[in-house]
Amino acid sequence: MKAIRWHRFVAACLLACAAPCALAVECIVPAKPGGGMDASCKLLRRVMQEQDGRDAQGNVKVAYLPGGIGAVAWGSVVSHRRGGPDSLVAFSGGSLLGLAQGKYGRADVGDVRWVAGVGIDHGMIAVRSDAPWRSLKQLLEAIRKDPSATTIGLSGTAGSQDWLKVAMLVQRAGMAPRQFHFVALEGGGDSFAALQAGHVQVISGDASEAAHFIAEGKVRILAVLSEQRLPGPLQAVPTAREQGYDVVWPIIRGFYMSPYASEDDYQRWVRYFDKAMADPAFDRQRSIGGLQPFAMTGKPLSDYIAQTVARYRKLSQELGLVR
């Protein structure tokens, strides 16, 4: 009887760990708290809590590893200093742009294991609620008259995705792509903090980051960089295209893991996300995080990442950012 009970206990343990074990999950945010990649890890936490019926608040550890708009976290994982079979690293379109421009050093898209793309975000331009500009055109005209009078806060430095959003808008307005004054910050959380403190007058960021602040009446979103208006709290915000500036900037959000993770562990996470994203509950949680539908895992995602990085590299070359 004891032998039978023991075998049943072992079988139950194996069954419980067929999916990632919440007690061991670490989600690494390669930025400071408050930005879009932080939101990705918190989305994972909510999904695991709702779908797995576990106390994911305590079981999914969110760890912050800022620096270089993802470069520090990337280097740490690739060098095997960080990351195990149940460690995931959040990434965004900014991460892919950094790869395309060589900002991660001698890095290649094949250096990590791309697990899942879980949603699409979009760029946006925001000002304080008491700012004098009420449209994108008014802001760009102010920049044209005196570029030094308006400071734009953005994640990263020249060539980052937040910088590129403004550069393309400025270019569409008939100015030189570099004709604006900006301050380089570390992540969306820093950008919104700088805006609220009055250190910058404008921020270039992501729509998902703005949803919380617009609900509190603290910011005014002048434009979203999407094909069509976004549903939810930003549905009243016009697109840049509607205002005469043909700039669209979609941002993939997802997770990668260490290249040293075994194939079994990698496939275990791929299956987990395939199953999780097939559940309508995931759509609900993704919507809460301000993201639009996107679901891709494993090999198809890896191919998509490679194509996106190649496209970003070409764009960066056209703007003279890389050779």
3-state helix, strand, coil in the chain (%, to 5): 50, 20, 30
What's the pLDDT at 30? Answer: 94
pLDDT over 50 (residue 186): yes
Average pLDDT, rounded, for the chain:
88
CA gyration radius for the chain? 21
Looking at 216, 250, 284, which one is the last position of a domain? 250
pLDDT over 90 (residue 244): yes
pLDDT over 50 (residue 18): no
The CATH number for 162's domain is 3.40.190.10
Question: Has residue 244 been placed in a domain?
Answer: yes
Residues 261, 245 within the same domain? no
Long-range contacts for 243-248 (Cβ within 8 Å, ≥24 apart)? 243/135, 243/136, 243/137, 244/137, 245/136, 245/140, 245/169, 245/172, 245/173, 246/172, 247/165, 247/168, 247/169, 247/172, 248/122
Q: To 10 degrees, the CA torsion angle through 197, 200, 201, 202?
A: -110
pLDDT tier at 8, thresholds 50, 70, 90 = very low
Greatest CA separation for the chain = 86
pLDDT tier at 53, thresholds 50, 70, 90 = low
What's the pLDDT at 115? Answer: 98
Rounded-to-integer distance, Cα 130 and Cα 134, Å:
10
Per-position b or e across 151-174, b if 16+ CB within 10 A of its CB: bbbbbbeebbbbbbbbbbbbbbbe
Residues 218, 143 within the same domain? yes
pLDDT tier at 11, thresholds 50, 70, 90 = very low
Question: Has residue 106 been placed in a domain?
Answer: yes
Question: Has residue 323 been placed in a domain?
Answer: no
Residues 106, 255 within the same domain? yes
* Contact yes or no for 135/123 (Cβ under 8 A): no
Count of domains observed in the chain: 2
Q: Which two tokens stand for residue 298?
A: 């494993």
Domain of residue 190 covers 122-250
Q: What percent of the chain has pLDDT over 90?
A: 67
Q: Which tens digit of pLDDT belongs to each residue from 248-281? A: 999 999 999 999 999 999 999 999 999 999 999 9
What value does the mean pLDDT take over residues 91-118? 94
The CATH number for 94's domain is 3.40.190.150
DSSP letters for 291-303:
PBP--EEHHHHHH
What's the pLDDT at 110? Answer: 95
pLDDT tier at 58, thresholds 50, 70, 90 = low
pLDDT over 70 (residue 2): no
Residues 108, 19 within the same domain? yes
Residues 160, 108 within the same domain? no
Rounded-to-integer distance, Cα 240 and Cα 218, Å:
21
Residues 198, 210 within the same domain? yes
Q: Tokens 């949603």 — which residue?
A: 119
Q: What is the pTM of this model?
A: 0.83
Burial of 260 (0-12, 13-18, 19+ CB in 10 A): middle
Distances (CA, A) of 62 to 7, 30, 153, 278: 35, 11, 26, 24
Q: Which tens digit of pLDDT belongs to each residue from 136-182? A: 999 999 999 999 999 999 988 888 999 999 999 999 999 998 889 99
* Contact yes or no for 159/166 (Cβ under 8 A): no
